[in-house]
Amino acid sequence: MNSAHHPKRLRGLLPLAGLAAALLAGNSAAESLPQAWDTALAVDRGLKAARENTAAAESLLEAARSSSLPSVSLEAGYTALDNTPAFRADLLGQSLQMPMAQQDSAAYKAMATLPLYTGGRIERGIDAAAAGLEAARLGETADVQNLKLRVADAYVNGLRAGRMLKVAESHVESLSAHARDVGNLHEQGMVARSDLLSVRVALADARQKALQAANALDLARAAYNRLLGRPLDQAVSLDELAPDAGRVPLARLTERALVQRSELAALAGQIEALRHQAAAVRGENRPQIALSGGYGYQQNRYQVHEGQWMVTLGARWNVFDGGVAGHRAGAVERQAAALTEQREELASVVALQVRQTWLDVEETGKRIEVTRSAIDQAEENLRVVRDRYANGLSTHTEVLDAETLRVNSEANHAAAHYDAALAGLRLKRAVGDL
C-alpha cells in the first residue's frame, strides 16, 4: 500500500517543485548589491531628472557670470518717408526750404556695452547662482542615496522572499516525511485514522503556504527588476548579504549626520542663494555705471559725415521707486528665513532617524543571537517528539506543534537576519554614508 501511494505523492509535489525551480533559477553569476546600485543609478529616470536640474543650475550660473561681460548689439534698418525731410527759414522776407535728409535711407549701428559698477547687483547674482548650483548638486546626492536605499530594500526583500520559500519548502518536506510515517503506522493499526487525516490537512496547508511564498518571491524579484530598468520577469540571482557587525556610538553617528547629510547642506545652499538674491535686488537701486561705444551709420547725402564712431560713459541711479525693490528684497529674505526654520526642523528629524535606525540595528543584532539558538533547540525538540510518537509516547498534535515551532524558529531567524542587514543600510542612509 505504501508503494502504491508513493507515486501519487510525488505527482502532487511535482507542480510545487517545478514552480520553485523556475523561481530559484537565476543568472550564472549572482549579482551583488554594489552592482545593483550601479545599474539603477544608470537607468533611473528620477535621477536623470535630478541631473537635468543640476545642469540647468549650471546654465544659470554661466548666465549670471556672462552678465558681467561686454554685450555687443547690431542694429539695421531701412526707412521710407512720404515726404523729404526739410527745414524752412525766412531770409530777407523770402521763405526758403532746404532738404535735411533723404526720403529713403538705410541705417545700421554696432554697439558694445560694458557694465562698470552695478551696486553689487551682478556680483550678488553670481553668488546666488553659485549657491543654487551647489544646492542642486547636493539635492542630486540625496536623490542618489534615496535610490540606493530603495534598491537595497528591494534587494533584501528578494533575499528574504527566497529564504522564506526555502523555509516553506522545508515545512512541506518535513510534513511529507511525517505523513509517510503516520501512513505506515496507520497501516499497522498503531494510530487512529484521525491522525492520518490531520497530517494530510496540515500538509495541504503547508503546500498552500509554499505557493504563496513562491508568489511573494516572484513579486519581490519583479519589484527589484523594475528599479534596475529590466523586464519584470527577468531571472534574478543575488549574492547573500550579511549584516554589518560594526558598532559606532549613537552620539558620534548623530554628530556625523548633522554635518554630512546632503539634505541639510542643500537647504543651507538654498538659504545662501536667497540671501544673495535679496542683496542683488537691493543693488538695483544703487548707481548703475556702464561704458558703451560703437559705430553708427545713417545714410544721408545732405550730412557731412554719414558714419560716426562714438563712446559714452553713462550712469543711471534710480533714486526712488516707491519701495518696490525694498519690498521685493524683503520678500526674498523672508523666504530665506522660512527655509532656515525648515532646516532646523529637518535637523531634528535627522537626529530622530539616526536614533531609530541605530536602535533597529541593536535590536536586530540581539534577535539574531536569540533566534539562532532557537533553531537548534526546535530541531532537537522535533526529533525527540517524533521518536516518542513512533513509540506511542506522544500525540500527533505534539508532533505538529513541534514542527510549527521549528518552522517559526527558521522564519524568525531569517527575518532577524535580513532585518539586521536592512537596518544597517538604513542607518548608513540616515547618517549620509550610503
- DSSP one-letter string for 272-316: HHHHHHHHHHHHTTS-EEEEEEEEEEE--TTSS-SEEEEEEEEEE
Using left for φ > 0, alpha for ψ between -120 and 50, and beta otherwise, residue 343 falls in alpha
Smallest Cα–Cα separation from 272: which of 74, 131, 153, 110? 131
pLDDT of 390: 84
CA dist 425 and 419 (Å) reads 10
Residue by residue, pLDDT tens for the chain (434 residues) are: 344 344 344 344 444 444 444 444 444 578 999 999 999 999 999 999 999 999 999 999 999 999 999 999 999 999 999 888 888 877 777 778 888 888 899 999 999 999 999 999 999 999 999 999 999 999 999 999 999 999 999 999 999 999 999 999 999 999 998 888 888 888 888 888 888 888 899 999 999 999 999 999 999 999 999 999 999 999 999 999 988 877 889 999 999 999 999 999 999 999 999 999 999 999 989 999 999 999 999 998 888 888 999 999 999 998 888 899 999 999 999 999 999 999 999 999 999 999 999 999 999 999 998 998 899 899 999 999 988 888 888 888 899 999 999 999 999 999 999 999 999 999 999 999 98
CA dist 377 and 381 (Å) reads 6
Q: Spell out the domain ranges in the chain.
A: 31-72+103-429
Alpha-carbon distance values, 392 to 208, 384, 396, 398, 403 (Å): 30, 12, 10, 12, 18
pLDDT of 90: 78
pLDDT of 301: 87
pLDDT tens-place string over residues 267-319: 999 999 999 999 999 998 999 999 999 999 999 888 888 899 999 999 999 88
In CATH terms, the fold of domain 31-72+103-429 is: Outer membrane efflux proteins (OEP) (1.20.1600)
Around 87, how many Cα atoms within 13 Å sit in the side-chain half-sphere? Answer: 6
For residue 124, how far is the Cα from the chain centroid? Answer: 31
Pairing of strands 71-80, 288-298: unpaired
CA dist 346 and 408 (Å) reads 40
* Sign of torsion over alpha carbons 394, 397, 399, 402: negative
CA dist 37 and 322 (Å) reads 56
pLDDT tens-place string over residues 224-267: 999 999 999 999 999 999 888 778 899 999 999 999 999 999 99
Computed on alpha carbons and rounded to an integer, the radius of gyration of the chain in Å comes to: 40
Could you give the residue ranges of the DSSP H alpha helices within 29-106?
33-43, 45-66
pLDDT of 211: 96
